[in-house]
């Protein structure tokens, strides 16, 4: 049987208990709470948002205990530091919920690659163009590459012509972000989606 005397010991024991099963992933930003606040004076805000004034950290903690809530330092850089009386567990839950919502609303832009060859047939070329248009409509960036094999290295202008033809085919959906560039045996170009499409 465990005997834990302080809130700090209880929270660290809970952390050890839950971190082994990786259940505890609430928030990475820890704020000093309750006994961890060691400032001489703090500005206190009540749970309803009202200013309770400047008082010692000990008195502010007693006030939080009377209301069965936690004292949380929300602005440590202020002079004096600002503390708020809140339910810390509920605060952390709401904060993690907001962070999760923000991540969900973020649009990530992926880079999709289309590979061409110098002797590509018309139908294959059209298929690659359709695929690139689909990627651009989805808001992704498209990397177009042409691989030169053997004696094809002697004719890089053919690769440039192919890239130009590809650019003209997707002109309504995307713009060239990075012009075709020969690097080793590959020529690459980046096309980004047009805004408003």
- 154 located within any domain: yes
- 144 located within any domain: yes
Q: What is the pLDDT of residues 19-76, one digit of tens each?
A: 433 333 333 456 777 777 877 888 888 888 888 888 888 888 888 888 888 888 888 8
Q: Judge if 94 and 141 occupy the same domain.
A: no
Residue 89 structural domain: 7-105
Q: Judge if 29 and 44 occupy the same domain.
A: yes
CATH number of domain containing 83: 3.10.20.80
- 2 located within any domain: no
- 12 located within any domain: yes
Instruction: Tell me the pLDDT band of 131, cut-offs 50, 70 and 90.
Output: very high
Question: How far apart are the C-alpha atoms of 37 and 34, rounded to whole Å?
Answer: 6
Provide the domain count of the chain.
2
Using DSSP, state whether 121 is helix, strand or coil: coil
pLDDT at 120 over 50: yes
Q: Judge if 68 and 150 occupy the same domain.
A: no
Q: Judge if 19 and 85 occupy the same domain.
A: yes
Q: Which range among 3-7, 54-58, 182-186 shows the weakest confidence by mean pLDDT?
A: 3-7
| DSSP for the chain, written as a single string | -----SHHHHHHHHHHHHHTTT---S-S----BGGG---SEEEEE-TTS-EEEEEEHHHHHHHHHHTT-EEEEEETTSSSPEEEEE-HHHHHHHHHHHHHHHHHHPPPPPEEEEEE-TT--HHHHHHHHHHHHHHHHTT-EEEEEEE--GGGGG-HHHHHHHHHHHHHHTTTTEEEEEEEEEETTEEEEEEEEPTT-
- 91 located within any domain: yes
Q: Taken in order 81, 85, 88, 91, is the CA torsion positive or negative?
A: negative
């Amino acid at each position: 049987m465990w005997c834990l005397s302080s809130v700090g010991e209880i929270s660290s024991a809970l952390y050890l208990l839950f971190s082994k099963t990786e259940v505890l992933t609430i928030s990475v930003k820890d704020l000093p709470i309750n006994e961890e606040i060691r400032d001489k004076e703090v500005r206190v805000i009540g749970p309803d948002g009202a200013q309770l004034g400047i008082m010692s950290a000990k008195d502010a903690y007693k006030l939080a205990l009377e209301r069965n809530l936690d004292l949380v330092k929300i602005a440590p850089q202020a002079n004096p530091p600002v503390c708020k009386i809140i339910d810390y567990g509920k605060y952390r839950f709401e904060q993690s919920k907001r962070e999760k919502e923000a991540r969900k609303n973020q649009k990530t832009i992926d880079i999709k690659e289309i590979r061409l060859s110098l002797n590509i047939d018309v139908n294959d070329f059209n298929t690659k163009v359709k695929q690139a248009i689909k990627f651009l409509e989805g808001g992704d960036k498209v990397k177009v590459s042409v691989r030169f094999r053997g004696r094809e290295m002697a004719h890089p202008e053919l690769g440039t012509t192919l890239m130009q033809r590809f650019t003209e085919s997707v002109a309504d959906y995307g713009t060239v972000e990075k012009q075709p560039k020969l690097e080793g045996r590959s020529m690459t170009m980046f096309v980004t989606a047009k805004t408003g499409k």
